[in-house]
């Protein structure tokens, strides 16, 4: 065997986060988490639960605490490997809130006003259009920039926020000196926008009132099959990827994303068959993916001490990296260093 004498180039760094306001959906899994699991060998990965972002919408404290722990366990069950990756809880690393305030002062009101998620959410929660909802992208920029991330893999709905983080990074670097790498969004080819099974013009979401539109990671096989059988399609009954066939296109995207097949291969597989064959086939690949995750999730939830040890150690690792960036930023702005210890 040849001995490895040359040092390999440092791995590029990836950062991504997930809100924990309920059980993860198939959209979170296909658009984000499953791909993030796949990055762990090639990149240095840092992932986290965005529980500070989550309170831009009111949360019931009891349910919220449960969702945070369960979401952490789900991420491990889906394949986040703590031997390779840092997985922490955002609220346990205070630098996120600190850098977020600073970046608020380097982001323009006009930039934030253009964010489509703000427009959508402020319509949906018209009784609680709080300032946090408006400045949410500054916190997200802080999440990304604190860890000097090169890439930010996200579903298509988060692209605009990553672009704002790029603008803020460039602005700060230009005003002072190079401080942050300018992060690039990574959007998957299939599954980047998984739509509601009941209304394929809307993205699949945890907060959808129509439960039949969303597959959650906790759904049992019968529920998954039932939801797919009821999925809205069209009157054509031909499995074909085409404009105007949003419901079928969405099912094909889900199928493609889980089987690795192209749209042409799927069309050939179901040639001469109708939606009556196609829908259960999509349900089956989803069931096959979710059942082992649910089993592992159950095992993890039976060991809360292990989970606590994991998130505590990982918050410490994240804090170590985050405070290095934050102190660099504060020094550049002109703050005096605090000596608290």
x/- string (CB under 6 A) for ligand TYM, residues 30-69? -xx-----------------x--x----------------
- When the beta carbons of 150 and 269 are compared against ligand TYM, the nearer one is 150
Which residue number is nearest to ligand TYM in terms of Cβ? 31
**Distance in Å, CB of 230 to ligand TYM, minimum:** 18
d(CA 85, CA 181): 20
Stretch that binds ligand TYM, among 107-115, 151-159, 298-306, 318-326 (CB under 6 A): 151-159
DSSP string computed for 177-233: S--S---EEE--SSSTTPBPSS-TTSB--TT-S-GGG--BTT--HHHHHHHHHT---
Among 68, 87, 99, 140, binds ligand TYM (CB under 6 A): 140
Write the CB contacts of 333 (distance below 8 Å, at least 6 apart in sequence): 102, 176
Residue positions annotated with a catalytic role: 121, 203, 206
Crossing angle of helices 131-146 and 95-104, in 10° steps, is 110
d(CA 185, CA 160): 9
Among 22, 155, 181, 200, binds ligand TYM (CB under 6 A): 155
- When the beta carbons of 269 and 285 are compared against ligand TYM, the nearer one is 285
Extract the tokens encoding 122. Answer: 């402020």
Confirm or reject binding of residue 192 to ligand TYM (CB under 6 A). yes
d(CA 99, CA 295): 38
**Distance in Å, CB of 12 to ligand TYM, minimum:** 15
CB of 262 within 8 A of CB of 256?
A: yes
**Distance in Å, CB of 49 to ligand TYM, minimum:** 9
Binding site for ligand TYM (CB under 6 A): 15-19, 27-28, 31-32, 50, 53, 140, 143-144, 152, 154-155, 157-158, 161, 191-194, 203-204
């Amino acid at each position: 065997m040849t001995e490895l004498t040359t040092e390999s180039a440092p791995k590029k760094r990836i950062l991504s986060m997930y809100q924990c306001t309920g059980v993860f959906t198939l959209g979170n899994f296909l658009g984000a988490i499953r791909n993030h699991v796949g990055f762990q060998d090639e990149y240095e990965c840092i992932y986290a639960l965005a529980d500070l972002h989550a309170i831009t919408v009111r949360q019931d404290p009891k349910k919220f605490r449960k969702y945070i722990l369960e979401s952490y366990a789900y991420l491990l069950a889906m394949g986040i490997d703590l031997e390779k990756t840092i997985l922490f809880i955002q609220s346990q690393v205070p630098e996120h809130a600190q850098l977020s305030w600073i970046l608020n002062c380097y982001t323009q009101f006009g930039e934030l006003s253009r964010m489509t998620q703000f427009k959508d959410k402020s319509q949906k929660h018209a009784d609680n259009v709080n300032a946090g909802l408006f400045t949410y992208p500054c916190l997200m920029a802080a999440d990304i920039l604190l860890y000097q991330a090169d890439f930010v893999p996200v579903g298509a709905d988060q692209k605009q926020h990553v672009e704002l983080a790029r603008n803020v990074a460039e602005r700060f670097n230009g005003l002072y000196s190079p401080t942050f790498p300018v992060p690039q969004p990574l959007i998957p080819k299939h599954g980047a926008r998984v739509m509601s099974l009941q209304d394929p013009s809307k993205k699949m979401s945890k907060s959808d009132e129509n439960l039949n539109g969303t597959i959650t990671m906790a759904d049992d096989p019968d529920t998954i099959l039932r939801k797919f059988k009821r999925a809205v399609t069209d009157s054509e009954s031909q499995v074909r990827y085409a404009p105007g066939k949003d419901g079928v296109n969405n099912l094909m995207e889900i199928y493609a994303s889980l089987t690795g097949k192209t749209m042409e291969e799927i069309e050939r597989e179901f040639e001469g068959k109708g939606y009556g064959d196609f829908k259960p086939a999509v349900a089956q690949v989803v069931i096959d993916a979710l059942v082992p995750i649910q089993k592992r999730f159950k095992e993890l939830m039976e060991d809360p001490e292990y989970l606590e040890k994991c998130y505590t150690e990982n918050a410490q690792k994240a804090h170590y990296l985050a405070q290095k960036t934050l102190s660099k930023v504060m020094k550049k702005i002109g703050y005096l260093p605090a000596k608290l210890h």
